[in-house]
């Protein structure tokens, strides 16, 4: 019976998809980038709140939960069990709290995200680590 339900589910999903012709329109890169930037700009206030950016800023010793979890797994493989003094690139850094957390732990870190929207206004006032 469960195989029947899975098959029905797959058929229903396939029927709900728009026809392939709906995807054949090509959007210019400029339009796509502008739409992506507008989407990001609309989401920034929600992300600032969801990621606790104000709290993060007001506590210079705060380390993000993601970095705390990652560090626990990585520490045995790091010199001195610390990222201090290491260089790293953090790809898809999003709003930057994880990147800044690595810097707060002493790493020399560069955060990269694509496309590069203008930084949220609050991000330009973050105190330098150290």
Mean pLDDT is lowest, of 4-13, 53-62, 73-82, 108-117, for 4-13
The Cα angle at residue 80 between residues 76 and 83, in degrees rounded to 5: 85
The overall pTM is greater than 0.85: no
Identify the helix (H) or strand (E) that includes residue 38.
helix 29-50
- On the question of pLDDT at 17 being above 70, the answer is no
């Amino acid at each position: 019976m469960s195989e029947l339900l899975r098959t029905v589910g797959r058929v229903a999903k396939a029927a709900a998809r728009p026809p392939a012709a709906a995807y054949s329109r090509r959007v210019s890169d400029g339009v796509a980038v502008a739409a992506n930037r507008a989407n990001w700009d609309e989401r920034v206030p929600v992300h600032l709140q969801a990621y606790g950016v104000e709290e993060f800023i007001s506590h210079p010793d705060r380390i993000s939960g993601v970095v705390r979890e990652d560090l626990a797994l990585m520490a045995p493989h790091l010199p001195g069990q610390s990222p201090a003094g290491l260089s790293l690139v953090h790809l898809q850094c999003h709003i930057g709290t994880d990147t800044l957390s690595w810097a707060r732990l002493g790493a020399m870190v560069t955060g990269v995200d694509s496309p590069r929207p203008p930084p949220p206004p609050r991000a330009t006032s973050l105190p330098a680590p150290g």
